């Protein structure tokens, strides 16, 4: 099956990771997944939430926002409304949970790492692009702390990425663009490690229920896509960070 943009059913959109897109944070990554573009930055503070005081353990948290011009119709700034939408809260909790799943919090010291994900342009898959870019930025930030002698090693268990999958016209598709997502019978986001261990699976029958075999087929498709994304993440990080000492 060929799709509207010419991709095969199991083909990712073009993915580029531009490291150090901005200069002020500890690390920044512009993740472009097709037409979706998310800027992910990492800042560190020498403090932790109150419930971690005195434990020697660090914390990783995330914030997510959709900029007003990210879609074809202006989205009101949530700060202007005085509250975050339920969607925003759900997505940033997903990003934070996912990143903590592969981080050795006890090896961070009493530091908090803030991963801010701002959607510059949205065409489906903004939360998965935020996790791809957020992990890459976090790995870059931690690598720099190691290079600067502030951490003995990078406290990440392994790579992490995410991708969307869905059933559109009964056909399993990888990495849905917005127009595909809008007409999908089943819509799913999968977060997994580079070795294929699942961190989170979010799946919804948009118009009807779906069978277990469909779930298995979609997760398998997502894991193949995540393996490709993980390879691109590691290639980008290898170019930016100094080689490991023997």
Write out pLDDT tens, residues 104-122.
Answer: 999 999 999 999 999 999 9
- Judge contact between 226 and 190, C-beta under 8 A: yes
The continuous run of DSSP H or E covering 39 comes out as strand 36-45
Higher local confidence (pLDDT), 172 or 2: 172
Lowest mean pLDDT among 68-72, 156-160, 171-175: 68-72
Q: What's the whole-number mean pLDDT along residues 12-18?
A: 97
Nearest to residue 60, comparing CAs of 48, 73, 75? Answer: 48
Cα–Cα distance between 43 and 105 in angstroms, integer? 16
Percentage of the residues of the chain whose pLDDT score is greater than 90? 86
Tell me what pLDDT residue 197 has: 98
pLDDT in tens, 35-81: 999 999 999 999 999 999 999 999 999 999 999 999 889 988 887 78
What is the token pair recorded at 128?
């998965």
In degrees rounded to 5, what are phi and psi of residue 29?
-140, 130
- Judge contact between 11 and 171, C-beta under 8 A: no
CA dihedral 91, 196, 174, 117 (to 10 degrees): 30
Neighbours of 55 (CB within 10 A): 11
Query: Taking the model in full, what pTM does it have?
Result: 0.95
**pLDDT classification of 159: cutoffs 50, 70, 90:** very high
Quick check: 158 pLDDT over 90? yes
Nearest to residue 115, comparing CAs of 82, 93, 85? Answer: 93
Tell me what pLDDT residue 1 has: 65
Mean pLDDT of the residues in the chain = 94
Quick check: 246 pLDDT over 70? no
**pLDDT classification of 172: cutoffs 50, 70, 90:** very high
- Judge contact between 223 and 190, C-beta under 8 A: yes
**pLDDT classification of 228: cutoffs 50, 70, 90:** very high
What is the token pair recorded at 33?
């997944």
What is the token pair recorded at 13?
């959109």
């Amino acid at each position: 099956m060929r799709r509207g943009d010419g991709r095969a059913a199991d083909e990712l959109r073009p993915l580029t990771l531009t490291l150090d897109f901005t200069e002020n944070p500890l690390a920044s990554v512009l993740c472009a997944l097709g037409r979706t573009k998310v800027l992910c930055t990492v800042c560190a503070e020498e403090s932790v939430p109150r419930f971690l005081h005195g434990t020697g353990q660090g914390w990783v948290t995330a914030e997510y926002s959709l900029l007003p011009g990210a879609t074809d119709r202006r989205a009101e700034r949530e700060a202007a409304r005085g509250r975050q939408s339920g969607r925003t809260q759900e997505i940033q909790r997903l990003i934070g949970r996912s990143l903590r799943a592969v981080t050795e919090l006890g090896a961070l010291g009493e530091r908090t790492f803030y991963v801010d994900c701002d959607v510059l342009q949205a065409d489906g898959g903004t939360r998965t692009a935020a996790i791809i870019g957020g992990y890459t930025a976090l790995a870059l930030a931690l690598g720099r702390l190691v290079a600067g002698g502030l951490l003995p090693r990078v406290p990440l268990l392994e790579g992490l990425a995410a991708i969307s999958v869905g059933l559109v016209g009964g056909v399993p598709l990888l990495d849905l663009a917005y127009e595909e997502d809008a007409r999908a019978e089943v819509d799913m986001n999968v977060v997994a490690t580079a070795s294929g261990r699942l961190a989170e699976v979010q799946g919804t029958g948009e118009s009807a229920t779906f069978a277990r075999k469909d779930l298995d087929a979609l997760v398998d498709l997502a894991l193949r896509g995540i393996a490709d994304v993980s390879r691109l993440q590691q290639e980008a990080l290898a170019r930016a960070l100094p080689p490991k000492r023997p």
